[in-house]
Amino acid sequence: MNIFAVIMAGGVGSRFWPRSREKSPKQLLKIFGDDTMIQATVKRISKLIDMDKIFIITNEIQKQEMISQLPDISPDQIITEPFGRNTAACIGLVSMHIKKRDPEAVTIVLPADHLIHDEDLFIDNLKEAAQFAFDKKSLLTIGISPTRPETGYGYIQVKDTPPSGNIYRVNSFAEKPNYSTAVQFLSSGDFYWNSGMFIWRVDTILNEIKMYMSELSYGLDKIEAALNTEESQKVTHDVYSNLKSVSIDYGIMEKSKKVYLIKSSFRWSDVGSWEEVYLLSDKDESGNSFTGDVYSDMTLDTYIYSPEKFTAAIGVDNLIIINTKDSLLVCRKDQAQKVKLVVDSLKMKNRNELL
């Protein structure tokens, strides 16, 4: 059984503005520790998979920095999309490249910007899931045992009887809930956080795409025929131009009859907002987490990132303050999800220098 990894790394991380920009998005930043998030992801999965079987899928704007940050990954394994068409197209495209190597390979699909503790448990879960996916020709996702009624994550409901170890058949998918619904999910005991991580054989996912997303499958066939030719880039661009933006969850996982969940309990976060960074950061006795030259007085439960400028905070609480060379963000922690609206506004005003 050959196991490959696909790391999805093409997003712009708009909720992490003003640090995250198009050329240096969240996955290319050091949010925790000395490694960038993409470096930490590659280092983690390399405990299971050799470097020559780790593929990165990104875009042309970010490719050169990916190559720079990941010297042990061959540039040929860093695949670029002409433009974003969500995760179904992204996964389909890189699957065609892996199919050339081994059409029955098991592929582990990971976002580039997650924080995972208990790495040995994570690797053990992947080994179990990979073997199940190979033997049963099924689609697996990793479900995280919820620890709180979180409204920022999607949820997956499982059926009662596990067919194999920690692996359950999936009953339904649920979008990000409101608080009262999240409380119900937590108390029911059969809902798990949707991690956005997947395990399957290449031939299995491509067959499911053919069954449920025929337009994408037709385009992937064209891309496959042109791989390693002078026409490859043009064909990929033309195919993408006609694709709809569809997530793998909506396009395949919510429709397929082959979907399972492996129940996992390692500590995990998708690091989806500055509030999440605050929650995961070390704090002082006042509940503050500061990076940089910061003065504070009567300041509580606040996250400040200001490595290049002196920043003073007096008599405030529950704030996110991000101070960069050209921009300053100040928001309440409970409004951190709305930071992406700033990016939307800058795009509408063609403020490209701040994107």
Closest CA to 268 of 144, 153, 140: 144
Side chain identity at 115, as an amino acid letter?
L
DSSP at 27: G
Residue 339 CB contacts under 8 Å (≥ 6 apart), including other chains: 14, 15, 16, 17, 273, 274, 329, 331
3-269 fold? Spore Coat Polysaccharide Biosynthesis Protein SpsA; Chain A (3.90.550)
Domain limits, the chain: 3-269, 274-354
**Angle formed at CA 303 by CA 300 and CA 308, multiple of 5 degrees:** 125
3-class DSSP state of 246: coil
Tell me the pLDDT of the chain (355 aa) as tens digits.
999 999 999 888 899 999 999 889 999 999 998 999 999 999 999 999 999 999 999 999 999 999 999 999 999 999 999 999 999 999 999 999 999 999 999 999 999 999 999 999 999 999 999 999 999 999 999 999 998 998 889 999 998 766 677 899 999 999 999 999 999 999 998 999 999 999 999 999 999 999 999 999 999 999 999 998 999 999 999 999 999 999 999 999 999 999 999 999 899 998 989 999 999 999 999 999 999 999 999 999 999 999 999 999 999 999 999 999 999 999 999 999 899 999 999 999 999 999 9
Bridge partner list, 342: none
- Pairing relation of β-strands 191-201 and 155-158? antiparallel
Question: What does the block give as tokens for 88?
Answer: 């179904």
Q: What is the pTM assigned to this prediction?
A: 0.93
Residue 186: count of CB within 10 angstroms of its CB: 15
State the Cα–Cα distance between residues 259 and 170, nearest whole angstrom: 6
Q: How far is CA 338 from each of CA 27, 341, 343, 344, rounded to the nearest angstrom?
A: 19, 5, 10, 10
Q: How far apart are the C-alpha atoms of 290 and 25, rounded to whole Å?
A: 21
Do the beta carbons of residue 3 and residue 105 sit within 8 Å?
A: yes
